[in-house]
Structure 1
């Protein structure tokens, strides 16, 4: 069974009865709170066991089930975080109205004029015009025309305004048109940077993109210390959602830059490390373990994959074993080949930036999976490390950021700067 592609579009609501949306969010919270308590009491997130528990609610039955499932997801997320963060706390009942999750048709329906009907409870409905970016409105039109389908949606209130976050689904999956003519792009994701290197089947290293985001780990560590102190003193953590929002925004932007970089090449195939394998293999000190696990390797990889697939780019996951230790020129594998951020092969003398070297090997592994063998590499063009979080750069256009890092493939072979 093929995984569905899911894209979230954000639409502003202009409701005729905004007070009913507030009631919906309050009722959803009360139902969610009851399920959180039931899960804690039962010691399980089993759907069947939860259905046996009585829940008082003022929601449509379908929306009540959404509240149940959202509570289950919150608890499952807690147990995942608990594996690497001893300070994680079990979800507690909420005091404020919360984002309400709705299923299509029962909970919300788009009409032909692009307005939306939201069902609050039996007999109570909210009708609303919607507004959004041209791109997002096109997705809604295509879903209405049958090109895509509507998934769940969430009613959100922010700064007094109401929004509908709609999941648009597609079952189209990218395919490889011509393996011999494709460009293989190896992606190496690290705690402090991401590197993408494009290689063609003739052995030419076309371009390398390196984005440095190392300041992010300092921000996350600072917030970790503050959260720990607040927890130790039983203080409210509500104000520290900023870290999560900032990280999510960062992941969205970085993944978009990587996909736009890939689109510059002929029939690109993105080769990504198997990120689940990375997280499983991390075994360091408790402090380093927390830093690496809490840094969203999996989320960044997931966003790159789904954005690439929406743009028709094939993605394959690669076993990352030895990618940072192997020489792409002679194939030698030695731990001592790594020297800080540099790679130096002790057999043939080849030198490169350690992370660019890993991205090359990831791309070559992807090529080997398709073609059965790989060509000898002909060149190693220079590139610049872009400090993406430097002042003013975060909001620069994607194409500007790519150009800042990449030099043309005709540049002489040289060691990268930075």
Structure 2
């Protein structure tokens, strides 16, 4: 995400990616596959040249000898410069190399009319603008709304024999004023618990359903493994990932809607760096703990919140599950209930969400809770 500041307040711009299905003809597939191989080969060669020279070479499309349109060559140069910076940052000990084929066009070299995407390709050594049939699978029309904003680069990839166009979209957002804070605690038995500073709380997701489905996928994988059906295992893994991603999308949307209902200006999440070490779980839940993407859920909450102008902060999770929100004493929860000698008693995940509201912000830019 990029940030821009203007006088009179903070404005942010967030970049999202809209995926669109492509239906190229066999001839178009052959052209795209050739261009993608040429693109990553060209980019890798440019990176190698820069690393050898130990400097970010000043290049134009005229300096690049490759069977690609000039606009696409310029995108390859931009990718190479970005990769060179990463290599330089690591002292050239590790040099990034592109392996998965793709090709990129800038926003001035393609057009999309919701039925097809047109962009320049190489045919018999000549540049020709070609239209490829496109399909937006979006029952809520959300992607169409996003595409009304500023469009960025177009990247075309091939994934599981499906052609996908990825369009970068830049969306301007403005942070809301105010100091209403929502604390969100992530977990397994309860995927997420949110608590406002006005005493409202809500539990999100179904941990039992998630556990059942993960166990079901695991058993099926074991069965397919015994039958040595590797392709079927790969398809099942993809299906499981799609299911998990869908769950995270739904939970994150519900959390952000809850924040909007309660006029929240800041959502606080625990820092995820060591969540697998600090998460409260038993041995029987370890398999689920290490296969569930807490990061993805936090990422979904973050970008959806920012689209609504809600700031997201990461806090230090130390003792958030042990500290009494009433008196400040530290106690360990028994089972799912947290009890303090002072008389305070709540669900332990709710206690975590309550304390996250007041926990120190990792970057130090804490707002009053």
User: CA-to-partner distance for each residue in 1:7-37, whole Å, 9 max, x for gaps?
Assistant: 222335576x56314541466369779999x
For residue 362 of structure 1, what is the aligned residue in structure 2? 356
**1:6, 1:306 within 8 Å by CA — same for their partners in 2?**
no
For residue 7 of structure 2, what is the aligned residue in structure 1? none
Say if 1:284 and 1:157 are closer, same or farther in 2 by CA, change over 3 A.
Answer: closer
**In structure 2, C-alpha distance between the alignment counterparts of 1:67 and 1:214, rounded to whole Å:** 44
For residue 234 of structure 2, what is the aligned residue in structure 1? 238
**2:43, 2:76 within 8 Å by CA — same for their partners in 1?**
no
How far 1:105 moved relative to its partner? 4.2
For residue 272 of structure 1, what is the aligned residue in structure 2? 269
How far 1:282 moved relative to its partner? 6.2
User: CA-to-partner distance for each residue in 1:332-391, whole Å, 9 max, x for gaps?
Assistant: 1122xx01111111x2121111111111111233799422xx6xxxxxxxxxxxxxxxxx
User: CA-to-partner distance for each residue in 1:55-113, whole Å, 9 max, x for gaps?
Assistant: x99665467679999x99xxxxxxxxxxxxxxxxxxxx8xxxx873524248x522689
For residue 127 of structure 2, what is the aligned residue in structure 1? 123
**2:252, 2:297 within 8 Å by CA — same for their partners in 1?**
yes
**In structure 2, C-alpha distance between the alignment counterparts of 1:206 and 1:283, rounded to whole Å:** 23
User: CA-to-partner distance for each residue in 1:29-55, whole Å, 9 max, x for gaps?
Assistant: 69779999x9xxxxxx99966999xxx
For residue 178 of structure 1, what is the aligned residue in structure 2? 178
For residue 348 of structure 1, what is the aligned residue in structure 2? 342
**2:191, 2:206 within 8 Å by CA — same for their partners in 1?**
yes
- Equivalent residues, number: 322
For residue 326 of structure 1, what is the aligned residue in structure 2? 323
For residue 148 of structure 2, what is the aligned residue in structure 1? 141
Is residue 19 of structure 1 aligned with residue 27 of structure 2? yes
**In structure 1, C-alpha distance between the alignment counterparts of 2:110 and 2:134, rounded to whole Å:** 12
Say if 1:284 and 1:364 are closer, same or farther in 2 by CA, change over 3 A.
Answer: closer
**2:184, 2:195 within 8 Å by CA — same for their partners in 1?**
no
Give the TM-score normalised by structure 2.
0.68
Say if 1:57 and 1:354 are closer, same or farther in 2 by CA, change over 3 A.
Answer: farther
Say if 1:128 and 1:141 are closer, same or farther in 2 by CA, change over 3 A.
Answer: farther
**1:8, 1:168 within 8 Å by CA — same for their partners in 2?**
yes
After TM superposition, the structure 1 stretch with the greater mean CA deviation from structure 2, 282-291 or 300-309, is 282-291
Q: Which runs of 5+ in 2 are unaligned?
A: 4-11, 55-64, 85-98
**2:152, 2:168 within 8 Å by CA — same for their partners in 1?**
yes
For residue 102 of structure 1, what is the aligned residue in structure 2? 104
**1:185, 1:196 within 8 Å by CA — same for their partners in 2?**
no
Is residue 5 of structure 1 aligned with residue 14 of structure 2? yes
**In structure 2, C-alpha distance between the alignment counterparts of 1:138 and 1:46, rounded to whole Å:** 40
For residue 290 of structure 2, what is the aligned residue in structure 1? 293
**In structure 2, C-alpha distance between the alignment counterparts of 1:123 and 1:249, rounded to whole Å:** 40
**Which residues in structure 2 correspond to 1:407-418 (within 5 Å)?**
none
Say if 1:159 and 1:34 are closer, same or farther in 2 by CA, change over 3 A.
Answer: closer
User: CA-to-partner distance for each residue in 1:245-295, whole Å, 9 max, x for gaps?
Assistant: 222222222211111111111243211111123246569999865532321
**In structure 2, C-alpha distance between the alignment counterparts of 1:276 and 1:292, rounded to whole Å:** 14
For residue 247 of structure 1, what is the aligned residue in structure 2? 244
Say if 1:120 and 1:285 are closer, same or farther in 2 by CA, change over 3 A.
Answer: farther
Give the TM-score normalised by structure 1.
0.61
SS of match in other structure, 1:187: strand
